[in-house]
Amino acid sequence: MRVSLLGPPGSGKGTQSEVLRDRLRVPHISSGDLLRDAVARGTELGRAAKGYMDRGELVPDQLVLGMIRERLRNTDCGTGWLLDGFPRTLAQAEALDRLLTEEGRGGVEHVVSLHVPREDVVVRLGGRRTCGGCGRLYHVRFQPPKTEGVCDACGGRLSIRRDDEEATIRSRLDVYDRQTAPLLDYYRGRGLLREIDGTTAPAEVSGRILATLDGHG
């Protein structure tokens, strides 16, 4: 199955992706994770992307597209994929369509859009913590680790993402409204959009997403 997950920052894309990856048995491809990895490794891409990411702006389309093209060529993508945080602009969506056509691969089948009001997102992201070791996600209020600051899974240290500071969160939300929200119409017009209320408990949201994907077999 070929699915793309859309939603403003903090709408639960990362959390839902972990569940969907296991249930759909497809690789989870997060453009944000790939970029953070490139920054951590100090690659050319990482060095070019870092400033944009720290400011909460989008990384230029050409850089992100090259990275995604490479990743989709990986053999693990043969049975499908779950894209998380990509595409994020109309130009990226059109380029993805072209890329999949050129390579003779099936196109996007479902675009799941998670809806969460802006103020909820600010609370969610302000409390978000990520394990520096294995990348697992926590929330100080909604999903705390057993020991404060320590990952339950690997014992790694939990940290706050640089772009989760409140001012940066607000500018990331503005970027979403301006650059990513127009994608909803693009996919709605093609009959691919599956809109999901992302405000309830994570397991309930997963259930609804899976039911929708099933229903659109």
- In the annotation, is 161 catalytic? yes
With CB under 6 A as the contact rule, which of the stretches 27-35, 70-78, 99-107, 181-189 interacts with ligand AMP? 27-35
| Contact (Cβ atoms closer than 8 angstroms) between residue 86 and residue 68 | yes
Please report how close the Cβ of residue 190 comes to ligand AMP at its closest, in angstroms.
Answer: 19
81/164 Cα distance (integer angstroms)? 27
Please report how close the Cβ of residue 195 comes to ligand AMP at its closest, in angstroms.
Answer: 19
User: Which letter does DSSP use for residue 142 in this model?
Assistant: T
User: Which letter does DSSP use for residue 23 in this model?
Assistant: H
46/43 Cα distance (integer angstroms)? 5
Enclosing H/E stretch for 101: helix 90-102
Could you tell me how many residues of this chain bind ligand AMP (CB under 6 A)? 17
SS3 call for 138: strand
Please report how close the Cβ of residue 124 comes to ligand AMP at its closest, in angstroms.
Answer: 12
Of the residues 36, 71, 124, 172, only one is catalytic, namely 172
Between strands 2-6 and 81-84, the pairing is parallel
Q: Which residues contact 163 (CB under 8 A, 6 or more apart)?
A: 53, 54, 56, 169, 172
- In the annotation, is 73 catalytic? no
- In the annotation, is 88 catalytic? yes
By the rule CB under 6 A, 163 interacts with ligand AMP:
yes
Of the residues 36, 71, 128, 136, only one is catalytic, namely 128
Instruction: Name the residue type at position 3.
Output: V
By the rule CB under 6 A, 187 interacts with ligand AMP:
no
With CB under 6 A as the contact rule, which of the stretches 57-65, 120-128, 183-191, 207-215 interacts with ligand AMP? 57-65
By the rule CB under 6 A, 50 interacts with ligand AMP:
no
By the rule CB under 6 A, 8 interacts with ligand AMP:
no
By the rule CB under 6 A, 71 interacts with ligand AMP:
no
| Contact (Cβ atoms closer than 8 angstroms) between residue 88 and residue 60 | no
Cβ burial of 30 (10 Å; 0-12, 13-18, 19+) is: buried
By the rule CB under 6 A, 116 interacts with ligand AMP:
no
Contacting residues toward ligand AMP, per CB under 6 A? 9, 31-32, 35, 52-53, 56-59, 64, 85-86, 88, 92, 163, 172
Active site residues: 13, 88, 128, 161, 172
